[in-house]
Amino acid sequence: MSDVLQAPFDVYRDRVRPEWIDHNGHMNMGYYLVVFDLATDEFFRWVGLDDAHRRARGVTTFSLETHVTYQREVGEGEMWHAEAGYLAATNELMSLHVSLETRRAAPMAPEVLDRLGAILASHEKLPLPAQAGRSIGLEKRPTAL
């Protein structure tokens, strides 16, 4: 685990695979969540909730809720477009730290809580993303006359 706390966290990279393309010629919505799940796994490793920690402590995480926004269509080979720099999608999720024995919420190890506290402190200086904290719905737009 690196001691450098990137803010914002920006480590995971992937490419849109041909089998993820739908009949509209862009990435199917279900695969966005697949990619975000892979990126979340990378974040958990960075935090200290890696496979070794989970096995040693008998814990895991369960996803309780996720919100995906689709900002811009992406085709094969793209996600956040590295060259053009546009945002393709966002994901906000709620995870629960769980005991594998009881399958109930369980406290995190102090070193993980400390790491999360340091990550929070490094991110508090950044503006909150516009997509954070959204609820489902459409904005009402004025109708054309």
pLDDT, tens digit, 9 for 90 and up, residues 118-136: 999 998 989 988 888 888 7
d(CA 6, CA 23): 37
User: Among all chains, which residue has been given the structure tokens 């008998």?
Assistant: 58
pLDDT over 70 at 58, yes or no: yes
The one-character DSSP state at 102 is T
Is 96 strand, coil or helix?
Answer: strand
pLDDT value for 95: 94
- In sequence order, what are the residues at sequence separation of 6 or more whose Cβ sits closer than 8 angstroms to the Cβ of residue 9? 43, 46, 119
3-class SS at 64? strand
Sign of CA pseudo-dihedral 28, 29, 30, 35: positive
pTM of the model: 0.83
pLDDT band at 7 (very low <50, low <70, confident <90, very high): confident
Average pLDDT over residues 88-104: 94
